[in-house]
Amino acid sequence: MHELLAVLSGSLVGFSLALTGGGGSILAVPLLLYVVGVPSPHVAIGTSALAVAANAFVNLVGHARAGTVKWRCAAVFAAAGSFGAAIGSTIGKLVDGQRLLLVFAFVMIAVGVAMLRPRASGGNPAVRLTGPIAARLAAVGMGAGTVSGFFGIGGGFLIVPGLMLGSGMPILNAIGSSLVSVGVFGLTTAVNYARSGLIDPRLAAEFIVGGAVGGVLGLKVAVRLASHRRSLTLLFAGVIFAVAAYMLVHTALTLRG
């Protein structure tokens, strides 16, 4: 049953990512905690980071083939952010697990709000890496990586607008390029947690397999319901708010008890 719940939870994350185009990875930690039954918040975060990294690298292949990745800009952002992810994950391991979950719930609310906001479609598709752009990307990437590492999340809701802000690239290129950073940040966080024995490799593998299956199904549904994409995003944001509310109540009661 434990293995089945892990695969099904991974499928739900993969399905939601393919269906809505982002935000799904934020559900990985609460699913591991409250559905799969992982007892330690830190193990859930470390295992989630590894699964999110694998999912990002798999999805990166498709975007690379489509030519939407701005590799030089993505590399600068990811390289700077990897240092931030190392710092953030080190600090995260030192924070009490329940208190970390309490703040994590507020991050989920922020992700839900970000999904509700309409995305800008402008930008320069021919953008090239220059000195000033590299400096901006490095600064923003460092901050995004720190947040990503601290909470063990993909951080796409920060990385996509960060890439657009730092370089001026269009959102299509930002989404493709963001997967480089999501993968690097997740892998950096996972390695840091693994060094402290805070990852369940078998559980991560089951979660990743489930995510691959869910991603295929989600993509098929997304194609059929393409005209309703905005409605699906709003629905999924509502799910995130509901899960965040549950985490706030559950964690607050645990801390009081």
The residue type of 175 is I
Mean pLDDT, 10 residues at a time, the chain of 257 residues:
87 74 74 91 93 84 86 96 96 91 88 75 82 95 93 81 90 86 93 95 91 78 69 79 90 83
pLDDT at residue 62 in the model: 79
Q: In the prediction, which pLDDT does 54 show?
A: 87
Q: What is the pTM of this model?
A: 0.85
Domain extent listing, the chain: 2-256
- What confidence tens digit (pLDDT) does each residue in 133-149 have? 999 999 999 999 999 99
Sign of the torsion angle spanned by Cα atoms 174, 175, 179, 181 = positive
Q: Is 115 exposed, middle or buried (0-12, 13-18, 19+ CB in 10 A)?
A: buried
Listing DSSP states for 101-161 in one string gives HHHHHHHHHHHHHHHHSPPP----TT----HHHHHHHHHHHHHHHHHHHHHT---HHHHHH
pLDDT one-digit tens code per residue, 60-102:
887 888 888 999 999 999 999 999 999 999 999 999 988 888 9
